[in-house]
Chains A and B, each alone.
Chain A
């Protein structure tokens, strides 16, 4: 059970934070289809930064510190990458869907190009060791022997987990508060609903949209790093298994509000987790692999997250609330 919940968290956290990235951009009025690309770029830069730290002589004991620095740098890289979208969407008033698609193609192309240039193969990993060895929090981190159990509740929180999960949840909460409870956050959201009205009240729509896209890039970059760390063993191969697009789906699914997104990401994460681990999943701890013994094809489990999303969408579509001005470039002359 602890294992199932922890795994669900590993899948849900990147989805959650990247979906929030989508919210930041769309609430400010820019469709950010480039989440996938930004994640890919973030994941790649994360590997590069960790390699740099490792080659720079940092040791395994400083693992958490390396990870924190890399996480932050990845967020900054995400901002830089998303500025390409912001420039075309805000300044040049270009079609945002096309711009996002272009960045989704650009990121894997650049990443693959440099991976081949650096290591002459299609995957780049850490300079030495693995993600679990360097960055995972386990009993040894606190000086206990290997295999030590803290009891079911504490185990869930501090045994075999990554610090990034908690950082991401913290960032998620902070950004949600920022969007809903601060002056700037509300101004940002107003630009996604009625930019003309916002402008007439003295809000700089361009600045707010840059802020939204930049924030979105930061979150997606962090999400990409988290994905690479927790599910790809800190490797990068120009692919994040469609997580950026899934995050978009979670965002629509969660109706562009943080709380619903967190719920949607957990639901999706749970089914993703079942799909990945159904064969060895022992739900109530009696040694019987129930899901495996049902004799259902593994592909059914793998399809489940997507089918469930479709079904839930079908039932909740009536209450959908898209930001009204999303996707429409702001033109002062149209006021």
Chain B
């Protein structure tokens, strides 16, 4: 039987649900980048100051920007291993992975966490304040680092739990509370830094409106080999920490009872409640974890030391918060997938910057590509159906185990919703049975 393991009757790995999800993500990525290339061509032809050579350079940078090594003496683009670019890519991926996780974990519980921006800001405030305070107080740097990180995470968790509480007890749509808490956080953070001059960077000229970077007080994340691998870049150990957290989230969501309960709530809150799962507690905890993750992203970003925070932010929310949404969507809310999609998104960012410095185009082409990819990922169901139709022809083995349903995405259609309800009831009943046995 092609595509199936002859002994177990299960689908082979390259035809499994997960693999199909990866294929459909790859299709989205390819189409997205092709759209980017088409825009480069059209704009290049419409603008008089961009030559055919310029168009070709633009296209190459869209696809290979991260490997760009600038121009040689003859003015031609050169490509190769660029440690600075790749290191910066990983550095920028760190907060994206974390906010992506924040969105993904909430999605699994059936919540759309659009409030990662506010949670990110609260994390920024906690980390910078405690980091600078302890850094100046002569406390050991390691302890200061830990306290700064944990304060940020804690504030983020608290901030994330607000929409959770509103959802759990008052059944208010989390999207609206997230939007409100985003803007409240933006004002709160600005207010805090406005009122505390000690944190403002007044020593360095021309840096009006910024907070003192944490490297000035020596509270920075250790490099953990990153400086050896990618010399000259901003990469640091924060990236490894982000990967560890992502793996921990994967284990939590798939291998623990708690994760099981969260997913049951996401599949059908009422069925989960019926089975004795405390849905209110789980919704609040899920949002608190999401908030903690987003805030951890901010903490890791600012604990890198070099990054500077522009504190008067009451009119602007950090882009990292919203960029977590495409990262999570592209990864189909899979915690491990988030690592890759986060790195991919930051690769596109690097490509955009290369475009800006090396050609007449600008960095926003990367944002267009990301948006197109997200738009196409909404069609992932379509891709998946087309792909799995090709696979599902071989259903000869009646004894074959049924393929477990993919419980990642929110319900796309009624029959998926119905099947998810059934699944949730099943999960819930198992959990209830377990409880009864104990």
**Interface of A with B (CB < 8 Å)?**
33, 84, 88, 92-95, 97-99, 101-106, 108-110, 112-113, 116-117, 241-242, 245-246, 248-249, 252-253, 297, 299-300, 302-303, 306-307, 309-310, 313-314, 317-318, 320, 322, 328-329, 331, 334
Q: Which residue of A lies closest to B50 (CB)?
A: A117
CA distance A318 to B195 in the complex (A): 39
Chain B residues contacting A309 (CB-CB under 8 Å) are 176, 180
Known A303-B188, A331-B413: A112·B176 in contact at CB below 8 Å: no
Which among B3-11, B87-95, B224-232, B314-322 touches the partner chain? Answer: B314-322
**A117 in contact with B43 (CB, 8 Å):** yes
**B179 in contact with A248 (CB, 8 Å):** yes
**A101 in contact with B329 (CB, 8 Å):** yes
B175 within 8 Å of A (CB atoms): yes
Nearest 4 pairs of A and B residues by beta carbon: A109-B367, A106-B371, A102-B375, A299-B191
B422 within 8 Å of A (CB atoms): no
**Shortest Cβ distance from residue A278 to the other chain B in the assembled complex, whole angstroms:** 13
Chain B residues contacting A306 (CB-CB under 8 Å) are 180-181, 183-184
Chain B residues contacting A97 (CB-CB under 8 Å) are 112, 410
Known A242-B317, A253-B176: A106·B375 in contact at CB below 8 Å: yes
* Residue of A98, A110, A241, A303 contacting most chain B CB atoms (<10 Å): A98
**Shortest Cβ distance from residue A100 to the other chain B in the assembled complex, whole angstroms:** 9
Kindly identify which residue among A102, A303, A322 contacts B184, using a CB–CB cutoff of 8 Å: A303
**Shortest Cβ distance from residue B224 to the other chain A in the assembled complex, whole angstroms:** 33
Kindly identify which residue among A110, A242, A297 contacts B179, using a CB–CB cutoff of 8 Å: A242
* 15 A-B contacts (beta carbon < 8 Å): A88-B375, A98-B329, A98-B377, A101-B329, A102-B326, A106-B368, A113-B39, A113-B365, A253-B176, A299-B191, A310-B177, A320-B172, A322-B173, A328-B414, A334-B415
Chain B residues contacting A328 (CB-CB under 8 Å) are 413-414, 417
**A117 in contact with B362 (CB, 8 Å):** yes
Chain A residues contacting B39 (CB-CB under 8 Å) are 113
**B176 in contact with A252 (CB, 8 Å):** yes
Chain A residues contacting B182 (CB-CB under 8 Å) are 242
Chain B residues contacting A95 (CB-CB under 8 Å) are 378, 381, 409-410, 412
Chain A residues contacting B175 (CB-CB under 8 Å) are 33, 248, 252
B430 within 8 Å of A (CB atoms): no
**B375 in contact with A116 (CB, 8 Å):** no
CA distance A5 to B264 in the complex (A): 50
**A94 in contact with B382 (CB, 8 Å):** yes
**B381 in contact with A102 (CB, 8 Å):** no
Q: Which residue of B lies closest to A314 (CB)?
A: B170
- Which B367-393 residues have a C-beta within 8 angstroms of A? 367-368, 370-372, 374-375, 377-379, 381-382
Kindly identify which residue among B170, B176, B378, B415 contacts A249, using a CB–CB cutoff of 8 Å: B176
Number of A-B contacts (CB under 8 A): 149
- Which B88-138 residues have a C-beta within 8 angstroms of A? 112, 114
**Shortest Cβ distance from residue A229 to the other chain B in the assembled complex, whole angstroms:** 19
CA distance A310 to B326 in the complex (A): 27
Known A102-B374, A103-B375, A331-B413: A248·B176 in contact at CB below 8 Å: yes
B325 within 8 Å of A (CB atoms): yes
Chain A residues contacting B195 (CB-CB under 8 Å) are 297
Chain A residues contacting B194 (CB-CB under 8 Å) are 297, 299
CA distance A15 to B317 in the complex (A): 19
**B179 in contact with A245 (CB, 8 Å):** yes
B364 within 8 Å of A (CB atoms): yes
**A116 in contact with B410 (CB, 8 Å):** no
Chain B residues contacting A318 (CB-CB under 8 Å) are 170
**B170 in contact with A317 (CB, 8 Å):** yes
Q: Which residue of A lies closest to B365 (CB)?
A: A113
**B375 in contact with A109 (CB, 8 Å):** no
**A113 in contact with B362 (CB, 8 Å):** yes
**B413 in contact with A329 (CB, 8 Å):** yes
B53 within 8 Å of A (CB atoms): no
**B166 in contact with A98 (CB, 8 Å):** no
Q: Which residue of A lies closest to B382 (CB)?
A: A92
Chain A residues contacting B171 (CB-CB under 8 Å) are 317, 320
Q: Which residue of B lies closest to A105 (CB)?
A: B371
**A93 in contact with B176 (CB, 8 Å):** no
Chain B residues contacting A93 (CB-CB under 8 Å) are 381, 412-413
CA distance A307 to B317 in the complex (A): 17
**B381 in contact with A302 (CB, 8 Å):** no
CA distance A310 to B166 in the complex (A): 9
CA distance A253 to B176 in the complex (A): 9
**A117 in contact with B329 (CB, 8 Å):** no
Chain B residues contacting A106 (CB-CB under 8 Å) are 368, 371-372, 375
B190 within 8 Å of A (CB atoms): yes
B233 within 8 Å of A (CB atoms): no
Chain A residues contacting B191 (CB-CB under 8 Å) are 297, 299-300
- Which B152-191 residues have a C-beta within 8 angstroms of A? 166, 170-173, 175-177, 179-184, 187-188, 190-191
B434 within 8 Å of A (CB atoms): no
**Shortest Cβ distance from residue A103 to the other chain B in the assembled complex, whole angstroms:** 7
Chain B residues contacting A94 (CB-CB under 8 Å) are 378-379, 381-382, 412
**A116 in contact with B364 (CB, 8 Å):** yes
- Which B62-78 residues have a C-beta within 8 angstroms of A? none
**Shortest Cβ distance from residue A94 to the other chain B in the assembled complex, whole angstroms:** 4
Known A116-B364, A117-B43, A302-B314: A109·B412 in contact at CB below 8 Å: no
**A110 in contact with B377 (CB, 8 Å):** no
- Which B284-335 residues have a C-beta within 8 angstroms of A? 314-315, 317, 322, 325-326, 329
B255 within 8 Å of A (CB atoms): no
Chain B residues contacting A110 (CB-CB under 8 Å) are 364, 368, 371
**A102 in contact with B179 (CB, 8 Å):** no
Chain A residues contacting B317 (CB-CB under 8 Å) are 242
**A102 in contact with B378 (CB, 8 Å):** yes
**A98 in contact with B378 (CB, 8 Å):** yes
B47 within 8 Å of A (CB atoms): yes
Chain A residues contacting B112 (CB-CB under 8 Å) are 97
CA distance A112 to B366 in the complex (A): 11
CA distance A310 to B177 in the complex (A): 7
Known A92-B379, A299-B191, A313-B176: A105·B412 in contact at CB below 8 Å: no
Chain A residues contacting B326 (CB-CB under 8 Å) are 101-102, 105
Chain A residues contacting B173 (CB-CB under 8 Å) are 252, 322
